[in-house]
Structure 1
Amino acid sequence: MSDASSATARSTIGTRPGRLAEFWRYFRENRGAVIGLYVFAVFVFVAVFANLLAPYDPTEQFRAHTLQPPVWQEGGTWAFPLGTDAVGRDMLSRLLYGARFSFFVGIVVVVVAATGGILLGLIAGFAPRWLDTVIMRLMDIILAFPSLLLALVLVAILGPTLLNAMIAIALVLQPHYVRLTRASVLNERTKDYVTSARVVGAGTLRTMFVTVLPNCLAPIIVQAALSFSTAILDAAALGFLGMGAQPPTPEWGTMLADAREFVLRAWWVVTLPGLAILVTVLSINLMGDGLRDALDPKLKRS
């Protein structure tokens, strides 16, 4: 009888879809999210292999071909399929390398902001009331300032470089992770499995990082996906204002800043970097919506 029960249990477990399969089943129900995932995959591929895909060095200047139009416009040539900028640099090469810089910015900002935010959120969720109040009031003060304005102030203090821009953006985004993590921790710490862990002798650190944190990751993952797009937008905005990446770095925001005076007579030097930012951010936001639908049990349909 026990052998039959064991066989039945193994059969049931074997037919039960894995967590990854279940996640994909819910994720693919959102067609926009799937499209966003494919576009994001292309974005990652371009960022990783930009040096192989780009026909030229992004800073190489062809002075005889300044403001060369794209190939489909009269006067264009296949040597520069997306045209050139005001100093003769190939737009296609700069756009491809710009994807690498944007991806790098997104990764660094999300890792720094999420790491610091999760640590502070865990501390606030388990700390005495006075320390919790201090941490959260500090986060409220940061959130009271417009994010881009605060990032501008921080970059002005640290100096206008891409690294400093990433640090500033990470600090601005960190309060969102703190509030989200704290709210999840306060919701989880009263549940029975946390009480059981404490009864069997789990210490505070083990309870925080091993017992509670894994059950708080779903909303944090969604926040990380949305923060990725925010980081790209903010980095482009700082670059456009001259407070982020500096010329001749092929960063999309910096490319827009360099092309401002050519809007009317060379539309491609402005439109193409803008489209790159738009498509990338839109795809990440669509993917974030799909992650929310797949990871939030309240949104799952039985």
Structure 2
Amino acid sequence: MTDTTHTAPKSAPKPPGRLAEFWSYFKENRGAVMGLYVFGAFVFVALFANFLAPYDASAQFRDFTLLPPVWQEGGNWSFPLGTDPLGRDMLSRLLYGARYSFFVGILVVVIAATGGILIGLLAGFAPRWLDTIIMRLMDIVLSFPSLLLALVLVAILGPSLINAMIAIAIVLQPHYVRLTRASVINELTKEYVISARVAGAHLPRLMFITVLPNCLAPIIVQAALSFSSAILDTAALGFLGMGAQPPTPEWGTMLAESREFILRAWWVVTFPGLAILFTVLAINLMGDGLRDALDPKMKRS
């Protein structure tokens, strides 16, 4: 007697979602994962600086000026990282400085990316003569050293943190324009765009709904790298006295205020410098991981 029972066919394994696929590629880069953790800590500190900082960033303790860190002879546990020349707690100022750096990075990236994407889309869809004019203007901006151009713009607008952010956003914008234009031109030759044109899609829909979503991967990577550039350039402008003005606890401004004490109070210069170094390094490592995970050419077949 034959057995007529049939086993149910096994269902095919469900393919991983986009987020799971992205993470599988991203986590292969250990430096990127480490950078992500450091960046997460940076964001946490920036958001909760009010609760984490033991003192107000501008509070002065004149009896404890240039107090060394707690592990050095003469240190005080009330000020774990020491104090600056005005008796302000270094730890509190560094924590509040993370908030300013995060705010600078977000605002600069939003301004630069928004303007750059719009201009890049326009250049990609524009007639050749208009495209040529736009790209030559971007080439002129890129021909100047970025920090020098930012200095000129801040000198025109006036030294302040807001004006420094506007200047840096203008300097970073051509990178988004060129990247968006190149991605748009690459997408325009694909079948789905041709089908949308034949179906009668209007130009705004074609630009923002059909083409733009498929150009976002390299733009996201550029945004991550621009975030670190914005923090670094803002610190440079602050160090030169053209960015945030004292007593703002911005890391570059803290360096500028303390540079004359570098030989006899190393901590007032070292800690802000290390904060800039580790933050920018972490964001750059994270940007490399984003590139590896989002760029199809970097993925394994």
TM-score (norm 2): 0.96
- Quick check: 1:194 aligned with 2:193? yes
2:152 equivalent to 1:129:
no
> What's the CA shift for 1:178?
0.1
Structure 2 residue 286 is the aligned partner of structure 1 residue 251? no
Report the Cα offset of residue 39 of structure 1: 0.3
2:234 alignment partner AA: A
Q: State how far apart, in whole Å, the 2-side matches of 1:40 and 1:81 are.
A: 23
Aligned partners of 1:110 and 1:287: how far apart in 2?
Answer: 16
List structure 1 segments (4+ residues) > 2 angstroms apart after TM superposition.
none
The reply on whether 1:31 has 2:30 as its aligned counterpart is yes
- Kindly provide the CA deviation profile for residues 211-248 of structure 1, in whole angstroms up to 9, marking residues without a partner as x: 11000000000000000000000000000000000000
Which letter does structure 2 place at the counterpart of 1:210? I
Residue 26 of structure 1 aligns to which amino acid in structure 2? Y
State how 1:232-247 maps to structure 2 within 5 Å. 232-247=231-246
Does 2:106 align with 1:107? yes
Q: Hey, what's the Cα distance between the residues in 2 that align with 1:172 and 1:268?
A: 32
What is the one-letter code of the residue matched to 2:36? L
Map of 1:241-280 to 2, 5 A cutoff? 241-280=240-279
Summarize the Cα distance change of 1:154–1:8 in structure 2 as closer, same or farther, 3 Å threshold.
farther
- Which residue does 2:4 correspond to in 1? none
- 1:96 is aligned to 95
Amino acid at match of 2:29: N
Letter in 1 for 2:180: T
Q: CA deviation at 1:18?
A: 0.2
Cα deviation 1:18-70 (Å, max 9, x = unaligned): 00000000000000000000000000000000000000000000000000000
Q: Which amino acid aligns with 1:148?
A: L
The equivalent of 1:76 in structure 2 is 75
**Cα distance in structure 2, aligned partners of 1:234 and 1:298:** 31
Q: Which moved more, 1:14-23 or 1:139-148?
A: 14-23
1:210 is displaced (CA, Å) by 0.4
Q: Which amino acid aligns with 1:215?
A: N
- 3-state DSSP of counterpart to 1:259: helix
| Aligned position for 2:140 | 141
Question: 1:217 corresponds to which letter in structure 2?
Answer: L
> Structure 2 CA distance, aligned partners of 1:138 and 1:262?
44
Deviations 1:169-212 (A, max 9, x none): 00000000000000000000110000011111111111110011
> Structure 2: how far apart are the matches of 1:155 and 1:39?
31
Partner of 1:3: none
Tell me the equivalent position of 2:229. 230
| CA RMSD, 1 decimal | 1.2
**1:301, CA displacement in angstroms?**
1.1
SS at match of 2:16: coil
- The runs of 5 or more residues in structure 2 that have no matched partner are 1-7
Amino acid at match of 1:29: E
- CA–CA separation in structure 2 for the residues paired with 1:299 and 1:241: 39
- Please state how far the C-alpha of 1:8 moved relative to its aligned partner: 8.7
Cα distance in structure 2, aligned partners of 1:128 and 1:76: 67
SS in 1 for 2:200: coil
Q: What SS class does the counterpart of residue 234 from structure 1 fall into?
A: helix
Q: Deviations over 1:64-89 (max 9, x none)?
A: 00000000000001100000000000
What do the CA deviations read for 1:88-143 (whole angstroms, capped 9, x no partner)?
A: 00000000000000000000000000000000000000001111011101000000
- Between the two proteins, the alignment pairs up a number of residues equal to 294
1:156 aligned partner: 155
Measure the CA separation in 2 of the matches of 1:92 and 1:239: 19
How many Å separate the matches in 2 of 1:243 and 1:294? 37
Cα deviations across residues 254-277 of structure 1 (Å, max 9, x unaligned)?
A: 000001100000000000000000
Task: For 1:102 and 1:30, locate their aligned partners in 2 and report how far apart those are by CA, in whole Å.
Answer: 26
Question: Take 2:171 and 2:164, find their aligned partners in 1: how far apart are those partners?
Answer: 11
Aligned to 2:183: 184
State how far apart, in whole Å, the 1-side matches of 2:234 and 2:194 are: 44
Q: Percent identity?
A: 82
